[in-house]
Structure formats: structure tokens, C-alpha cells
Amino acid sequence: MDLFLPAACLALALGLALIYGARFAVLPVSGVKSAVKVLSVAALLPFGLLLGAPVPVLIGLALGALGDFLLSRPGERAFLAGMGAFGLGHLAYAAQFWGQGAGAPVPFLALPLIALALSTEVWLAPKTGALRWPVRAYVVIITLMALAALSLPPGFGVTLAGALLFVLSDALLALDLFVLPPGARMRPLIQRLLWTAYWSGQALILIGLLPAHPA
């Protein structure tokens, strides 16, 4: 198979991701910012499609791009819709992980993840106001996705790394949206770190599940 077109799609996605992280991650919402962010994830779709990525992974990516767009829009309704899109994307990823033979997670790996999820009741939930229950539901869903990734058989370390980076990005996003006070000096660093973790997580989940990857 000619790899030029898939490589070009990946290069486009990576280039846009680098531009977003360097330029737009710390800027206020704008149409250009939204476009660069969404396209940096959406460009992974043709890359995965051309290389035969599993359908649930492509669905997860598409829902991530949709979630990025919705979260860039103002208002609580758009925020909830974006969170819902990401939640469905996590379920699509989890379905693929189980399809790859995921079993029961190793306890010593799963316990820190469960502890992180439970800790959100202390440092996150009290600060989310009317969004408390949707945020709680999202925490449960992404935890299930990560537990499914922890349960993957040997040979899927790239995908596992991507799933854990996704968890990290959402933890950093929670800090940015709900915990850090206005004008916090560390916010630009948090925003760039969360973008790096998020985009890398999406890309690694996809790359780790391409057919050429050893199962």
C-alpha cells in the first residue's frame, strides 16, 4: 500500500496540533482556534481509515473532534453536549479494548486509577455546581475506559499509554475549568500540558490499534 497519503494526513494532524499548542492553547476562544483544534484531531480520521483502523476507534476519534468543537462554543448546553460526545467516544474506545481481548485489570495497576476517580469527590465535585452529576458520570465513563485499557493483553502498550494520557488530559482540564482561580499564573502551563496529553493520547490510541500493531 502506498503510505504517502496516510503519512500526509498524520503530518497534517501533527502540524496542526503543534501550532495549536504553541499558539492557540492559551488564547481566548475564536473561530480560528476552534478550527485548528478540531482539524488536528479530525485529520487523524483519514490516517486511521486508510490504514484500516477498527471502526470503534474511528468513531471515538470522530466523537472527540465533535466534542472539541462543542466545548469551544459558549454556554452550558454546548459544554454538556461536548462532554457527552467525549463520554460516548470513551465508550467506543472501551468497546474496542474489550474486543481486543481485555479481561480483568491487574489490581495494583487499577487501584491508583480508581483512587484518582474517587478523589474527584474531594477536589473537583464540590466546585462543579449544577454540573456536579454530569461531571461525576463523565468521571465514571473515562475510568471505565482506562480500566479496559489496563486490561488489554500484552502488545498494546502504545494504546495503554494513549488511554492514560487521555485521563491525564481530562484531570488537567478539570483543574483548568473548575479548580484554578481566575488569573492563576500556572494556567498557561496547565493548558499546554493538557493539550499535549490529549492530542498525544488520541493519536497513540489510534496508532496502537492499527492492524499492523501486534496483538
Q: What confidence tens digit (pLDDT) does each residue in 29-86 have? A: 999 999 999 999 999 999 999 999 999 999 999 999 999 999 988 889 999 999 999 9
Query: What percent of the chain has a predicted confidence (pLDDT) above 70?
Result: 97
Task: Quote the pLDDT of residue 95.
Answer: 96
Instruction: State yes or no: pLDDT of 171 exceeds 70.
Output: yes
Burial of residue 77 (CB within 10 Å: 0-12, 13-18, 19+) is: exposed
Mean pLDDT, rounded, for 16-34: 95
Name the pLDDT band for 1 (thresholds 50, 70, 90): low
**Any domain includes 173:** yes
Is 119 contained in some domain?
yes
Q: What is the mean pLDDT of the chain?
A: 94
* Within-domain flag for 37: yes
Q: Each residue of 152-183: b (16+ CB within 10 Å) or e?
A: beeebebbbbbbbbbbbbbbbbbbbebeeeee
C-alpha distances in angstroms, 132 versus 120, 137, 180?
11, 9, 17
Least confident of 23-32, 103-112, 203-212: 103-112
Is 162 among the domain residues? Answer: yes
Distance between the two ends of the chain, CA-based, in angstroms?
21
Q: Is residue 214 part of a domain?
A: no
Q: With bands split at pLDDT 50, 70 and 90, how would you rate the model's confidence at 212?
A: low
Q: What is the mean pLDDT of residues 110-139?
A: 96
Model pLDDT, residue 86: 98
The model's pTM is 0.94
pLDDT at 105: 73
Whether the predicted pLDDT of 102 surpasses 90: no
Q: Between 11 and 74, where is the model more confident?
A: 11
> Are the C-beta atoms of 141 and 91 separated by less than 8 Å?
yes
At residue 109, the pLDDT reads 82
pLDDT, residue 215, reads: 40
Residues 55, 73: Cα–Cα separation, whole Å? 28
Place of cell 475510568: 143
Q: Which domain holds residue 43?
A: 4-208
Instruction: Give pLDDT, residue 124.
Output: 97
Count of domains for the chain: 1
Mean pLDDT score, 176-202: 96
Q: Is 130 within the bounds of a domain?
A: yes
Per-residue pLDDT at 214 exceeds 80: no
Cell 498494546, residue located: 156
Residue 48 in domain: yes
Do the domain assignments include residue 215? no
